[in-house]
Amino acid sequence: MDCFADILFALNKHCFSLLSMWIKEALQPPGFPSARLSPEQKDTFSHQILRERVNKRRVKEMVKEFTLLCRGLHGTDYTADY
């Protein structure tokens, strides 16, 4: 997931306006990227990513959290070591 975080961070830093349009369109379809996500969770993720333009480590944490939500693993024992 680090490679996705790196790409999002670079786009956010250098192409903010394009990323903001792209991320809203990409997360708009119901059931994408996971049926487990609510529209509110998708909005929260996009706002968090677009707000963070300096701290790459924080972007990586946000992407990791989002992937765990997508897989239904957020808050489980599996994630304690992750």
Residue found by looking up tokens 């963070």 in the block: 52
Dist. CA 77–CA 6, nearest whole Å: 27
What percent of the chain has a predicted confidence (pLDDT) above 70? 88
Phi first, then psi: give them for residue 28, nearest 5 degrees.
-70, -40
Dist. CA 22–CA 75, nearest whole Å: 29
pLDDT at 29 over 60: yes
pLDDT tens by residue, 41-79:
999 999 999 999 999 999 999 999 999 999 988 666 665
